[in-house]
Amino acid sequence: MATLVAEQVARELTLQPTQVQRAVELFDDDNTIPFIARYRKEATGGLDEVQLEAIRERVTYLRNLIRRKDEVVRIVEEQGKLTPELGEQIGGAKTLQEVEDIYLPFRPKRRTRASIAREKGLEPLAEMILAQQTLKATREEIARPYLNPELKLASIDDVFAGARDIVSEVISEDAEIRKSLRQIFLKDAVLHSSVGDVGKDKGKKYEMYYDYSEPVAKMPPHRTLAINRGENDDVLKARLDLPFDVARPILQRRRPTNARSPLEEDMVFCHEDSYKRLLAPSLERETRNTLTEKAQKHAIAIFSANLRSLLLQPPIRGKTVMGIDPGFVTGCKVAVVDDTGRYIEGATIFPHKPRDRWNEAKEKIKEIAARRRVDVVAIGNGTASRETEALVAEVIAEVKGNLAYVIVSEAGASVYSASEVARREFPDLEASQRGNISIARRLQDPLAELVKIDPKSIGVGLYQHDVDQKELGKALDAVVVSCVNYVGVDLNTASASLLQYVSGINKRVAENIVKLRDERGKFKNRRQLAEVSGLGQKVFEQAAGFLRIPDGENPLDNTFIHPESYAACERLLAKIGQVSERRDLPSAVADFRAHIIARSLTTDDLAAELGIGGPTLRDILENLEKPGRDPRDELPPPILHKDILKMEDLREGMILKGTVRNVVDFGAFVDIGVKQDGLVHISQLKDGYVANPLDVVSVGDVVTVRILSVDFGRGRIALSLKGAR
C-alpha cells in the first residue's frame, strides 16, 4: 500500500516514485523538512522544501482516505449491508468526499420525513416509484393496501406523500447525483448578495455588495471572504442560485421516468422535491464551504508569502538604533539599543497634542542621539507616526550629521510588549516601554525580533481574521521555521524564542540551551550541544547544521556544513591545501575549482573519492567559499530618510522610491514616505497580464513608482510600476 501511495503522489507531482518513497521514509523517521531539504539531497534527488511539503500533505491525505475507507467498510458490514459492488465502489473512491457520499445512505441520522414513512411501511411503494415499471394497475389500486388511518394514512394522497418522501431522500443520497450536481454548482451557480442590516455597516465597507451577483466560477478569493465577513457582521445576506431546470437532466438520467408507468408523475414530483428541498440546500452549503476553503487557502498562501518576505528583510548591522513608538496623549516612547541589540536607555517625550512640547522633545532626541552616538531612528508606523516623522526630520536637519530615520512596521509590538517573553527580557520595564525596544531591534534583525511575536499579529495578510485560525497558525509557523533554518542561528546570541524554531528543537530544549549558555558561558563547539538537557542524538542530527558558532574552536561550526560531513570536509581541505597556497579559504577554494576543471573532473568524481554525494560536496564548497554567509545580505537594505515628504507635495507623474508593505490579491501597498501608503493596482504592476501580484513584488521590496493620481479628500494614492525607471 505504501508503494502505491508513493507512486500515486509521484504521478500527481511529476516526481520519481523513489524520491517520494524516500521522502516519506524520512518523514516517518521524524526528520524535519528543513533538515531533509538541506542534508538529505542524495536520498530525495534534491527535493526542495515546497516539494517536500506537497509530498507530506498529499501522503497524509491519502493515508487518511485509506483509513476512512476501511472504517466505512467496517460500519456498513456491521449493518449487514455490505455487498461486493458496494465494497468495490468504496475501494475505488478517489476523494474523502466520494467516500462520504457513498456512506451517506448508511449514516445514522435523525428522524426525517422519509424515516417516518419507512416506519409506516411505505418503503415497498417507494421502491415501485423508483423502479418505474410499466404496470396495468392504477395509482389507487397500488396505494390501497397501504391505507391505515391509525398510521395517518387515511387517503391515497397520504400514502403517496409518504412514499415520495422516501424516494426524494433516496435521490438526494445518490452518490453519482451528488457528484454531478456538485460539479454543476461550482460551474454554473450564481451567488447573490443583498443588504441585511444597513445600520451595522457604519463605514459602508460592504456597499458594493448590497445588490451584487457573480458566477461562483469567477469569484476571486478576496470577494468570497468579503461577503462571508459581511454575513458574519449581519450586514449582508447571501445565497446561491442554480435553477432546477439546470439540474433536471442529471436527475432524469440517473433516476429516469417511464411514460408508461402509472407512477411517472410521482417520480417527476420527486425529482423537483428532492432537488429543491434536500439537494440544493445541502449543495449550496457544500459549495459555499468549498469556495470559503479555496479562498482561505489562497489568503493563507498570500499571508505566508508576505510573512516570509518580511522575516527575510536584510538586517542593518553595526548600528546603534533609537526606536520611537509614536503616540498622542500618552506620548512617544523612546528606546536606544546598541549595535548588538542591548537596551541601554529609554525616555518618554510629548511633542504632540494635547501637551505640544515640541521643542523640548526635539532637544531630548538630540541629546540622547549625541550622547549614545545613534546612527538610525526607527519610527513605528502606527498612530502619530507621520507627526513624529516630521519631528525627527527637523532634528536631523538641525544636527547636520549622518543621522537618518526609517519607518518600521510596528505590527505586533504591543502584543510583544505584554507577552511573557518581553516580561522575562525586561522585568523592570513597563509594558509601554517594551514595544519601542522591539521597533528598534526589528530594524537591526527583523527575523530574530519578529519570531517573538505570534505570526498572526504581524499584519501582512488580508482577511486573516476570517480564515481558519488553526490552519493559518500552522502555515505561518511553517514559514517561520523555514526562514529561521534558511538563515541559520548564532548559537551564542540567539534567544529561546528564535532557537525553538530551529529544526528538531522545541521550546523546552531551546530554554535549556539558553540556561546552559548562561551558566557556563558561550558554546565553543557544536559537540557541546550534547550537554544540553533533552537534546539527544536525534535532535542533534536535526539541529546541529543550522546552529552556527562564529568564533568557535572549529571554523566549520560557523557554516551550514553538518558535523556528519566534517571528516569528508577535512579530507577535502587537505586536497585544497595541496593545490593552493593561499591563506584565505575562499580564494583557495576558487583555485581548487579551477584545478578540478583543468583536470576535466566533475564534482561527482571528487565526491566519490571523498565518500560523499555530489550535492553534499557542492554545498560544502559553497560554504567554504562563503563562511558565515547570511543570505539576507544579498537583498537591498531598507530606505533611510533624512527629510519628510507630505501628501500635499505629491503630483501626478512624480517618480519616487518606496517600500512594499503588503501584497494582496488586487495589487500591492507601497510606503512612499507620506502618511498614506499608495496602491499599485494589479493592472499597474507591469506591462501585460499579471495572474498573481506575488509574481512581481514581495513585502519589503524597494521599488520605483510613478504617481498616477492623488485623492486628497479620501487620502488615496494610486501608483504604477510601469514606466517608473
Q: Is the pLDDT of residue 13 over 70?
A: yes
Residue 11 host element (H or E): helix 2-13
Q: Is the pLDDT of residue 645 over 80?
A: no
How many residues in total does the chain contain?
Answer: 725
The pLDDT of residue 276: 97
Phi, psi dihedral angles at 405 (to 5 degrees): -135, 160
Cα 264 from Cα 276, distance rounded (Å): 19
11 is a domain residue: yes
Question: Which grid coordinates are listed for 98?
Answer: 466520494
Q: Is the pLDDT of residue 68 over 80?
A: yes
The pLDDT of residue 724: 67
139 is a domain residue: yes
Cα 268 from Cα 255, distance rounded (Å): 10
Report DSSP state, residue 13.
H
Question: Which grid coordinates are listed for 477?
Answer: 509557523
570 and 548 in a single domain? The answer is: no
Q: Specify the pairing of strand 376-380 against strand 343-349.
A: unpaired
Q: Specify the pairing of strand 332-337 against strand 321-325.
A: antiparallel
Q: Is the pLDDT of residue 255 over 90?
A: yes
Task: Kindly give the interhelix angle for 96-103 and 84-91, rounded to the nearest 10 degrees.
Answer: 160
CATH number of the domain that 81 lies in?
1.10.10.650
CATH number of the domain that 651 lies in?
2.40.50.140
Question: Which grid coordinates are listed for 430?
Answer: 513597563
Q: Which whole number is the average pLDDT over 322-342?
A: 93
Q: Is the pLDDT of residue 215 over 90?
A: yes
683 is a domain residue: yes
Average pLDDT taken over every residue of the chain:
91
> In this predicted structure, which of 449-458, 501-510, 580-589 has the lowest mean pLDDT?
580-589
The pLDDT of residue 179: 95
Cα 178 from Cα 180, distance rounded (Å): 6
Q: Is the pLDDT of residue 582 over 80?
A: no
Q: Say how many domains are in the chain.
A: 6
CB count within 10 Å of CB 339 equals: 14
pLDDT digits (tens, 9 = 90+) for 97-111: 999 999 999 998 889
pLDDT digits (tens, 9 = 90+) for 293-325: 999 999 999 899 989 988 998 999 889 999 999
**What string of DSSP letters covers 160-203?**
HHHHHHHHHHHHHT-HHHHHHHHHHHHHH-EEEEEES-GGG-TT
Of 341, 348, 337, the residue nearest 374 (C-alpha): 337
707 and 566 in a single domain? The answer is: no
Q: Which whole number is the average pLDDT over 218-233?
A: 93
Dihedral sign for Cα 130, 133, 138, 141, please: negative
CATH number of the domain that 389 lies in?
3.30.420.140
7 and 53 in a single domain? The answer is: yes
Q: Which whole number is the average pLDDT over 150-172?
A: 96
Cα–Cα–Cα angle for 570, 574, 577, rounded to 5 degrees: 135
Cα 564 from Cα 537, distance rounded (Å): 12
46 and 132 in a single domain? The answer is: no
Q: Which whole number is the average pLDDT over 41-56?
A: 96
CATH number of the domain that 130 lies in?
1.10.3500.10
Q: Is the pLDDT of residue 616 over 90?
A: yes
> In this predicted structure, which of 132-146, 261-275, 485-499, 574-588 has the lowest mean pLDDT?
574-588
SS3 323: strand
Let me know: does 162 contact 116? Beta carbons within 8 Å: yes
Q: Which whole number is the average pLDDT over 452-475?
A: 83
Q: Is the pLDDT of residue 647 over 90?
A: no
199 is a domain residue: no
- What percent of the chain has pLDDT above 90? 69
> In this predicted structure, which of 124-133, 172-181, 580-589 has the lowest mean pLDDT?
580-589
Q: Which whole number is the average pLDDT over 662-679?
A: 86
221 is a domain residue: no
Q: Which whole number is the average pLDDT over 81-97?
A: 94
513 and 567 in a single domain? The answer is: no
Domain closes at, from 634, 668, 686:
634
* Range among 1-10, 368-377, 449-458, 650-659 rated most confident: 368-377
Question: Which grid coordinates are listed for 640?
Answer: 533611510
**What string of DSSP letters covers 468-500?**
-HHHHHHHHHHHHHHHHHHH-EETTT--HHHHT
102 and 165 in a single domain? The answer is: no
Cα 30 from Cα 495, distance rounded (Å): 25
329 and 347 in a single domain? The answer is: yes
Question: Which grid coordinates are listed for 50?
Answer: 515546497
Q: Is 549 exposed, middle or buried (0-12, 13-18, 19+ CB in 10 A)?
A: buried
SS3 376: strand
Q: How confident is the model at residue 725 (pLDDT cuts 50, 70, 90)?
A: low
Residues 6 or more apart whose CB falls under 8 angstroms from that of 597 comprise none
Of 424, 445, 435, 436, the residue nearest 494 (C-alpha): 445
142 and 77 in a single domain? The answer is: no
CATH number of the domain that 555 lies in?
1.10.150.310
> In this predicted structure, which of 12-16, 238-242, 398-402, 639-643 has the lowest mean pLDDT?
639-643
Cis bond leading into 354, ω under 30°?
yes
SS3 678: strand
68 and 45 in a single domain? The answer is: yes
Let me know: does 225 contact 295? Beta carbons within 8 Å: yes
522 is a domain residue: yes
415 and 513 in a single domain? The answer is: no
SS3 642: coil
Domain closes at, from 427, 460, 493:
460
User: How many Cα atoms within 13 Å fall on the side-chain side of residue 172?
Assistant: 21
Edge to edge, the sheet with strand 211-215 lists 211-215, 190-195, 236-241
136 and 271 in a single domain? The answer is: yes
549 and 595 in a single domain? The answer is: no
Q: Is the pLDDT of residue 581 over 80?
A: no
Residue 657 host element (H or E): strand 655-664
546 is a domain residue: yes
- What percent of the chain has pLDDT above 70? 99
Q: Is the pLDDT of residue 131 over 90?
A: yes
The pLDDT of residue 661: 87
Structural domain range at position 381: 321-460
Of 312, 310, 322, the residue nearest 404 (C-alpha): 322
Q: Which whole number is the average pLDDT over 16-29?
A: 96
581 is a domain residue: yes
> In this predicted structure, which of 289-293, 424-428, 634-638, 660-664 has the lowest mean pLDDT?
634-638
Domain closes at, from 53, 84, 106:
106
